[in-house]
Amino acid sequence: MECVTSPSYSIALNGSLYGKFAGKKGLRQGDPLSPFLFVLCLEYFSRLINLAANRDRFAYHPKCAKFNITHLAFADDLMLFSKGDCNSVDVLLDCLNKFSRCSGLRANLKKSSLYTAGISGQKLVNIHRLVNMPIGSMPFKYLGIPLAAEKLKAVHYVSLVEKIAGYINAWANCTLTYAGRTELIRSVVQGVECFWLSILPIPGTMIDRITNICRIFLWGERKALVAWKNICLPKTEGELGFRDVKTWNLALLAKVLWNIHDKRDSLWIRWVDQVYLNGASVWDWTPAKGDSPLLKRIFEIRDIIVKKEGTTQLAIANLNRWFAGEISGCSKAYEYFRPRGIPKVWANEVWRHYIPPKHSFILWLGIKGRLQTKDRLHYMDIDQNCALCGTAPETLDHLFFQCNITNQVWLQIKKWLRITRAMTTIKSTLKYMKKEARGTSWQSRAKKSVVACTVYHIWTARNRRLFEGTVVTSDGIIREIKTQVYKIMFSLYPHVLVQYEHLALGH
Ligand SMILES: [Zn+2]
């Protein structure tokens, strides 16, 4: 009882704490004992209500009768079910009252609601008078997810979109690189979606809104440098490897199909099996018009897989391969459904783990020809000449290779790392490096890093010249590149400093 009686409470008033009251019952908020005590209390309540349900005057809710379900409880949410008649409701209220008398825990009627379906007129008035709690309307939220008796409308998904927008807005005013924003979208936003996507078919309009929030966060209000549908292809296919929300939704719901097929031991699966399928195989069942929209979507997915595979047996074999005993089953299902691109030979060279992500990102934009050099901004009334030398139009190949200044940069860098081949485009340079620098020796890793570092530092030097007016020399750029490569080498091989010391010194 020490945990229960030892806390004390004060009142916060105008920013200061006043008074001190000893706790006599209840736990501190967040006390690890809390869920344990909750389970103990609810176990008593469960038994109480199940005993009462066996009495003559109680009738189960029609959809719950097969499993004798009277209630569901999770955390501090409790749902009670019965047939819509006063006798049955009265039995439930009796149980609640008895539980209150024994435990001291009283249901807050103002925070509770009565939900009915198919009852109206005097019958509803009588039940309402009996329970003395407000009449609620569907959908309502259970565990953060809207519960509805019919297909959810787009408006019911607004809280999902708002949640994602909330995460994004918290970071919107921070100065993040493209790489930083990419990681944030990948980890936070796509993580938030997961819970919703694994139990609800998300409408296309909502997917568009989520995508739009992410797109604006990544690129700003201006035109996207790379189309979103491309970005969602994997890195091996030359893109960023975001998950396409629609396909990910499909893959997560395929897991539900597997659970139904596999007759996984959960109350919901058994309930679907008995109430909807009525013992029939999930592969033969056709949903009726009024059936659950979630189930209808799941059976659409079933049909997609069967059509793709040709037979039900092959479809089952696929599901089996993805989900049987696998934690990463949904990723395999995603791989199956996702749109396909063409594998790129340079892909691995761009996203090496030791290259700083912001360097990789600029290199990636460079290879795709999406860096905003002046020739791509011809619609703007600006000087079209190279920001570094000012003597020729600024194209990607000029800026990175033909320009006097950057040509000097490459000459020195090549000499430094003993590279003989002429460099003319970013893509060909990367392809050459893939051949030239095989293996994982420090020399080849230095060569692999140097392309990303050179492209990045040339690009930032150009931007500094253009937007801040800072004069940059080839020597300045070379120094930055060498320092960066040195940093990468040091992080990879902190104990073999002497061997490659000459790299950083430029001998
Ligand atoms: Zn130039």
Indicate if the pLDDT at residue 259 is higher than 70.
Answer: yes
- The rounded Å distance from CA 404 to ligand 1 centre is 6
Torsion angles phi and psi, residue 13, rounded to 5: -135, 125
Can you give the three-state secondary structure of 443-481, one letter per residue? HHHHHHHHHHHHHHHHHHHHHHHHHHCCCCCHHHHHHHH
- The rounded Å distance from CA 479 to ligand 1 centre is 19
Q: What does the pLDDT look like over 178-233, one tens digit per residue?
A: 999 998 888 776 677 778 888 889 999 999 999 999 999 999 888 889 999 999 99
When pLDDT is cut at 50, 70 and 90, the band that residue 461 belongs to is very high
- The rounded Å distance from CA 393 to ligand 1 centre is 8
306 SS3 class: helix
- The rounded Å distance from CA 462 to ligand 1 centre is 9
What pLDDT was estimated at residue 267?
87
Residue 183's H or E segment, with its range, is: helix 178-184
Q: What pTM does this model have?
A: 0.82
- The rounded Å distance from CA 336 to ligand 1 centre is 46
- The rounded Å distance from CA 389 to ligand 1 centre is 4
Q: What does the pLDDT look like over 62-120, one tens digit per residue?
A: 888 888 899 988 767 889 999 999 999 999 999 999 999 988 888 888 889 999 888 88
What pLDDT was estimated at residue 175?
83
Percent of the chain with pLDDT over 70: 94
- The rounded Å distance from CA 36 to ligand 1 centre is 70
What pLDDT was estimated at residue 199?
86
Quick count: other Cβ atoms within 10 Å of Cβ 298? Answer: 22
What pLDDT was estimated at residue 428?
87
- The rounded Å distance from CA 395 to ligand 1 centre is 9
- The rounded Å distance from CA 378 to ligand 1 centre is 17
**Strand blocks (E) in 264-353:** none
